[in-house]
Chain A
Amino acid sequence: MAVLATEIRSSAPRWLIRHETLLAAILAVALAILCVFNENFLTIDNLLNQGRLMTEVGLLALPMTFIIITGGIDLSVGSIVGLCAIILGYSWKNLGFPLPLAVVFAVGVGGVAGFVNGLMITRVRVPPLIMTIATLALYRGLAEGISQARSVRNYPEWFFFLGQGEWLGVPMQLWILLAGIVAAGIVLDRTTFGRTLYAIGHNETAARFSGLPVDRTKLIIYTLSGLAAGVSAWVLVSRVTTTRSDMGTGYELDVIAAVVLGGTSIFGGVGTIWGTVIGLVMIQLLKNGLALTGVKGDATIIVIGAVLIASTLIASSLHGRREVAS
C-alpha cells in the first residue's frame, strides 16, 4: 500500500508537469494564431480587460480545484454568487446596512452557504454531486424569493472602483485574483493542508486511517468555495452596477471547465493551481480571440468544447502511457 502510494506520488508530478507544459504550448500556439488574425488581440488594453472579465470565474476556480482534487464537486457556486449578490443589494437597500457592512454580510452568507454544503456532505454523507445539485436550485430559489425580482441599482460611485477601477494600470479585481492564485498555490503546494487534499483524493479511507482530518478538511474547502463565491459576487455587482437574481447562472460549468482543462482529475488526487490558471486563461483568451476574429457566439462554444475534449484526450493518453511505463 505504502509502496503504491509513493509510486503514484513520485510519478504524478512528472505527468503533471508534462500536461501543463503541453497545455501551455497549446495556449501559446492558439495565441499566436489569433494574434496573426487580429491586430487588436495582443494589446495590453485588451488583455487587461480580459483579466477583468475573467476574475469572477477565476476566484471560483481556485477552491474548486481543491474540491475536485479531493474527488468532490461544487455545482452550487453560480447560485451562491446570485444569492450573495442579492444579499448585498437587499441588505443595503432594504435593511439599511451601510454598504461596506452589506459587502461583509454578503460574503459571510456565501461562507455559510458553502459551510451548509460541507456540513451535509461530511455529517449526513450526502454525495457532493447530489448535495450541490440540490443547493444549486435551493440557493437560486432563495435569491429569487428574497429579491422578489426587484433589481437593486444606484450604488454610489465609489463602490464601482473594485469592478471598474484600476491600480498601477492593472484592473482592481485582477489584483484580488492574483493574490488568490498565489495564496491558493502556496496552500496546495507547500502545506500539510494541501497534501491532505491529495491524500483524500487518492484514497479517502486510507487518509482516514492515517489519522488525517478528512471531514474537517472537506468542511473547510466547501466553506472556502462559498466565501470565494461571495467575493466573486461583490466583484460582479461592482462591475455591472446592478444586482439581479439571475447573476452567476451557469458559472459552475465555466469554472469546472477551467479546472478540468487545467489537468485536475475529476476522479480526484491530481491537479495544481497553475494548471487551473492556464485552463482559465486559455478559455478566456480563446473566447475573446475568436470573438475578435469574427467567429460568432455559437461557433465559439463549439471550438471551446472541441479544445476541452482534445486536451483531455491528450492528457489521458499520456496518463495511460505512464501506467504502462511504471
Chain B
Amino acid sequence: MKTAALLILGAAMASGSASAADKWDGADDLPTSPLSCDASPAAAAAAKPYDGGKVTGAADKAGKPITLVDVPKLIGIGYFNATTKGMQDAAKELGNVKVTTDGPTEAKIDEQIKFIDNYITRGVDGVLFAANDPVAIAPVLKKALSKGIHVVGYDANAQPDAREWFVNQAEFNGIAKAMIDAMAKEAGEDKGFAIVTSTFTTPNQARWIAEMSAYAAKCHPKLKWLETVEAQEDNVLSLNQATTLINKYGDKLAGLFGMTSVATPASAEAVTKARLCGKVAVVGLATPNAMKPYVNAGCVKSVVLWNPVDLGYAATYVMRAVVDGKLKPGATSVEAGKLGKLNVINGSEILLGSPFIFTKDNIKDFDF
C-alpha cells in the first residue's frame, strides 16, 4: 500500500513542476520579424493607423488631479518595484497625479482580473497594467474603457482594442537581435546554447524566444539550439535547472540564456559554481544590481535590458497626456518629461527606445 502511494507520488513529482522541451521556440504561433544581420536600421515600416481602443464617457479632467491604479503582473519583485518607483517619480513631477500600485502576489491571470475589476467598481480615472495574458485580460480592460476609465499598458501588452496605448520597453526583435548577437560573439558562431525561461505560457518570454529563434536561423545558422527549460520566477529552481543543463550537455554547452531577471543571475551563479566562467557564456535579461557581482568578476560580459524605472515613468506621462487630450489617435510622438519625445510605433504603441546592454564599463552607473 505504502509502496503504491510512494510510486504515484514519485511519478507525479517527476512529471510536475519542471518540464522541458527541446528547441522550444516560443510556440505562440505569431509571425516573427527578425531584424537585418548587420547594424543597419530596420526598414521603416509603413505607418499603421491607430488600432487602440476607445474610452466612452470619460470625464474631462484635462489639467485636473487624477487618481490612477497600477496593476502589474505581480507585486513584490525588483522589476516591478522599479516600474513603481518610476511612476511615483513621474507623479511627483507632474504634481496632479496620484498612482497606487496594487496587484496579485503571484503572476496569475484570474487574480489580476479580480484586482482590476475591483478598482473599476471603486472608481479611478485610469488603469495602468502589465498583462499576464494578452487575451484573458481584454474583457476586464474593455469594461474599464466602457465605464469612462482610461487604460494604458506597459511591459506586457493586451489585445490592442482593449487598451488605448501601450508603452513598449523595446521591440521584441530588437531584444532578440541583441541577445543572439552577444551569444554568437561570446560563445562562438558554431556552438551549442540552452535557454532558462520563466514558463512557456508567459507572453513576453515566449515572444522573445520566438524572435530569437527566427533571428538565429537567419543570421547565425550554425548556432546549436540545445534545449529550453522552465524555471518559473524561482531562484532555487532556476539554479537547479541551469546546473542540470551544464551537467547534461558538458562540453557541448557553450552558452546559457537567462530570460528573466531571476533566471539570469541564477544561471551565472550555476556557471560560477561549476567553475566554468569563460567556458560557458551567460547572456540574459536582468536588472543591473543582481548582475553586478558576476559582471565585475568577469563571468558575465553582457546583460540586456531597458530601464524599468523609465518604463513606469513613461507610462505615467503617457496616461497624463491621454487624459489631457494631448495624445490622440494618429499622433506620432508624445512628450515624456525627462525622457523627451517618445515615438509612436505599430499604430498605438509608444517605444521607450533600443534595448540597453550593461557591461563591466557602465553597470556601476545604475542602481535598481
A residues in contact (CB < 8 Å) with B: 38, 40, 43, 45-46, 49, 53, 120, 124-127, 130-131, 133-138, 140-142, 144-145, 148-151, 153, 160, 164, 236, 239-242, 244-247, 249-250, 287-288, 291-292, 294, 296-298, 301
Contact = CB atoms under 8 A, between A and B. Distances in A.
Contact of A142 (B15, B114, B201): B15
A134 B5 contact: yes
A134 B118 contact: no
Q: Could you tell me the dominant secondary structure of chain A's interface residues?
A: helix
B344 to A, nearest CB: 26
Contact of B108 (A125, A149, A246): A246
Interface residues of B, number: 46
Contacts of B9: 130, 133-134
Given A46-B121, A144-B19, A134 B8 contact: yes
B110 A247 contact: yes
Residue of B29, B100, B122 with highest tally of chain A CB at under 10 A: B122
Given A135-B12, A148-B200, A246-B108, A296 B102 contact: yes
Contacts of B27: 148-150
B115 A297 contact: yes
A59 B293 CA distance: 50
A100 B143 CA distance: 27
Given A130-B9, A141-B19, A153 B108 contact: no
B121 A40 contact: yes
Contacts of B117: 49, 53
A126 B225 CA distance: 43
Contact of A164 (B15, B108, B123, B139): B139
Contacts of A249: 106, 108
A297 B138 contact: no
B102 A297 contact: yes
Most buried by B among A127, A131, A136, A240: A240
Contact of A291 (B8, B29, B115, B206): B115
A22 B17 CA distance: 41
A301 B133 contact: no
Task: Choose among A40, A46, A125, A149 the residue with the greatest number of B CB atoms under 10 Å from its CB.
Answer: A149
A294 B138 CA distance: 24
B199 interface: yes
Nearest to A38: B122
Contact of B15 (A124, A138, A291, A301): A138
Given A148-B21, A150-B27, A291 B118 contact: yes
Nearest to A149: B200
A137 B13 contact: yes
B109 A240 contact: yes
Contact of A297 (B11, B13, B15, B103): B103
Nearest to A140: B16
Contacts of A160: 139
